[in-house]
Amino acid sequence: MKIGELAKKAKCTVETIRYYEKVGLLPASSRDNINNYRLYNKSHLERLTFVRHCRALAMSHEEILVLLQARNQPAQKCDSIDQLIDDHLQHVTVRIKELQKLEAQLLKLRLQCQTPTDSQHCGILQDLEQAIEDNSTDKNFSHVAGSH
Amino acid sequence: MKIGELAKKAKCTVETIRYYEKVGLLPASSRDNINNYRLYNKSHLERLTFVRHCRALAMSHEEILVLLQARNQPAQKCDSIDQLIDDHLQHVTVRIKELQKLEAQLLKLRLQCQTPTDSQHCGILQDLEQAIEDNSTDKNFSHVAGSH
DNA sequence: TAAACACCCTGAAGCGGCTTCAGGGTCAAG
DNA sequence: CTTGACCCTGAAGCCGCTTCAGGGTGTTTA
């Protein structure tokens, strides 16, 4: 199958597939001799699907590469896989807590200006000029992405 | 004061300050005639502190610029400020929910391999090859960053 | 007085995980 | 024979910095 069909089946864009090939998450496919189009088979789709599932779980490319390698060495013990998932889970949990702190701070901030007035007296701006309790959010970032 | 002192007072790096100047979050400072070092005063510190507080709340530069502008127009109504905070809060809340879904999926995944075996039979790898219920995480990303 | 060291400067590149753009070739349908 | 859908490549853009390369300045100490 051609790249467009693969993209549809894996629910991603063709650009993403070409990008994955470039960075080594997918092996280079064979090519049509005549027009140089990339040609894929079922095993490409399986690998790509695997990668997309990992990405949906917010794993980094590095983590995914480890899993892909493990997948190719069936006899190996899977302790390292368990560890990787545990570590990643930890990242996500940490990030959730960070964002919850942030949410609480923003809620508090928002309450500073319940009744709209002019900027000069807006409690929100005044608060943003004050110190915020040290919470170390955004410092030792875990690897799971944020809110924008 | 020189840039190093400002950085210390604002709890950020000198590189960050130079970067903020470049992208317009801080105005260009005056310079020492002799050695071209940047020279700052209290108002720079206040503005930088404001920016750092906003960043600690995971606001984007764009959002911060809006707030800085409002801060400079004291007579203006502050509805737009309230709206901005509300919107941002919404981003954060959405992102938390996304990450919580993810956390649940990862926990479930982790349970697939309670007793370590070989990769070939590892429930985690098997699960990652199956479809995962469509949750649309990672698609319409809000702007608040993730876990890595 | 000279060397060591802390601090300052600039401009460019790197990070991750793509997306977008510019500029082109291929192929089937009407 | 042209339209439009699809394919190709390589480079740049996104965000918010951080790091690097290559240099100048300023104080302290041997």
| B134 vs A69: which has the higher pLDDT | A69
Residue in B with minimal Cα distance to A141:
B148
Task: Using the 3D structure, point to which of B51, B71, B91 is the last residue of a domain.
Answer: B71
The answer to whether residues B56 and B99 belong to one domain is no
Q: Is A65's pLDDT higher than 60?
A: yes
Q: How far is A90 from chain B (nearest CA, A)?
A: 9
Contact A109 B57 (CB under 8 A): yes
CATH number for the domain harbouring residue B52: 1.10.1660.10
The protein residue nearest D17 (Cα–C1') is B16
For A64-133, strand residue ranges (E) read none
The answer to whether residues B9 and B40 belong to one domain is yes
Contact B146 A95 (CB under 8 A): yes
The answer to whether residues B56 and B95 belong to one domain is no
Q: Is B109's pLDDT higher than 90?
A: no
Examine residue A43 and state whether it is found in any structural domain, yes or no: yes
Gap between the Cα atoms of B64 and A14, Å rounded: 35
Gap between the Cα atoms of A131 and A72, Å rounded: 52
Gap between the Cα atoms of A54 and A64, Å rounded: 7
Q: How many CB atoms lie within 10 A of CB B16?
A: 17
CA nearest to B90, candidates A134, A55, A99: A99
* pLDDT band (50, 70, 90) for residue A125: confident
Give the residue from B78, B79, B109, B132 with the most A CB atoms within 10 Å of its CB, the best one to mutate: B78
User: CA dihedral defined by B121, B124, B130, B133, rounded to 10 degrees?
Assistant: 150
* Burial (CB count within 10 angstroms: exposed 0-12, middle 13-18, buried 19+), residue A138: middle
Per the structure, the complete domain to which residue A25 belongs is given by 3-56
Tokens representing A56?
């949906």
The answer to whether residues B90 and B63 belong to one domain is no
Tokens representing A104?
């609480």
Per-residue pLDDT tens for B24-75?
999 999 999 999 999 999 999 999 999 999 999 999 999 999 999 888 887 7
Number of domains in chain B: 2
Contacts of A58 in chain B (CB under 8 A): 99, 102, 137-138, 146-148
Gap between the Cα atoms of B45 and B51, Å rounded: 10
